[in-house]
Amino acid sequence: MVDPNTIHDRLINLLDINQVEYKLFNHPAALTYEDLAAVQKSTGFFGTEAKCMVLKVSDKFIVYITLQGSRVNFNAVKTELGGAKVRLATAEELAEYFGAQPGCAYPFAFDSQYDIYVDPKIYEQEWLLFSPVLPTETIQAKGEDLRRVWASLDNQVSEVINFNQ
């Protein structure tokens, strides 16, 4: 089982060493976009919410990062990656392999064996909001700065424009 606090510290460290402009907000637990909208009013953070998903393609996990409101085209993912089946990771798989719970998947700082696929629209966002694995925190980061983080990782990182419907 992966320790969420270790992941959290690794994620913050990656932001710092890559000189990402960001703010870390503490708040009551938020696991849905609706929870986050309520917390946002009281906390004051703003920006575009990232949608970080752990997908299982055949027998391999990947992470796909896009924007809230985007609908994933599972057939396109399957075609692009050559998998027999594509599905979201279960709550148990998220906890075991990523130390996360549903609603708290995060865009980097996990084991290097997991490939990352990024919707390039991420970089166009002045402020991007995402979970640092803990449901009681939100990061507000400059979208363009995140390119440096992904470039610094040992993970295979690819930009994709065809994973959304």
- Which of 1-5, 32-36, 100-104, 133-137 shows the lowest mean pLDDT across its residues? 32-36
Give the residue among 22, 18, 2 at the shortest CA–CA distance from 105: 2
- The SS3 of residue 37 is helix
pLDDT of amino acid 30: 86
pLDDT of amino acid 35: 84
pLDDT of amino acid 117: 98
Under the banding of pLDDT at 50, 70 and 90, the label for residue 38 is confident
The pLDDT tens digits for 56-82 are: 999 999 999 999 999 999 999 999 999
Tell me what the mean pLDDT of segment 23-37 comes to: 88
* All structural domains of the chain with their residue ranges: 4-156
Average pLDDT, the chain: 95
| Percent of the chain whose predicted confidence (pLDDT) is above 90 | 88
Tell me what the mean pLDDT of segment 145-152 comes to: 98
Report the alpha-carbon distance of residue 147 to residue 115 in Å, rounded.
15
Report the alpha-carbon distance of residue 5 to residue 162 in Å, rounded.
33
The pLDDT of residue 110 is above 90: yes
Tell me what the mean pLDDT of segment 141-155 comes to: 98
Under the banding of pLDDT at 50, 70 and 90, the label for residue 44 is confident
Give the residue among 14, 20, 7, 51 at the shortest CA–CA distance from 140: 20
CATH of region 4-156: 3.90.960.10
